[in-house]
């Protein structure tokens, strides 16, 4: 995790990922032993399927949701580090004002 704040460009990239992904909140649903990630309960974000051409299992997910899911592994730690950095800066400012 970087202790550097995200650049404006990075924030714009993340905002674009969010804007194009299926609106949330997302929730895992299970019925008939099938799991799916949904905003509406119908597997609109991610659901399993069987490929017709070879019978192999696969998942169905839009390109936008796939990109969002993939990027989230980096984004969440990045934002946690930023929250920690901002909290520390606020604490230092508050301490300075109390002195």
State residue 14's pLDDT score.
96
Q: Which of 68, 75, 63 is nearest to 19 (CA)?
A: 68
- Mean pLDDT by runs of 10 across the 99 residues of the chain is 80 96 94 86 90 94 97 95 93 83
**What is the number of H-type helices and E-type strands within the chain?**
2, 4
State residue 95's pLDDT score.
87
State residue 99's pLDDT score.
64
State residue 41's pLDDT score.
79
Show the tokens assigned to 26: 């997302």
């Amino acid at each position: 995790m970087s202790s550097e704040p995200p650049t404006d460009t990075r924030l714009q990239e993340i905002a674009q990922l969010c804007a194009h992904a299926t609106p949330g909140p997302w929730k895992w649903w299970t019925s008939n032993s099938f799991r799916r990630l949904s905003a509406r309960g119908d597997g609109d974000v991610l659901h399993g399927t069987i490929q017709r051409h070879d019978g192999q299992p696969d998942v169905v997910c839009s390109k936008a949701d796939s990109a969002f899911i993939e990027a989230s592994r980096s984004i969440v730690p990045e934002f946690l580090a930023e929250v920690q950095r901002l909290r520390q800066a606020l604490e230092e400012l508050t301490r300075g004002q109390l002195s």
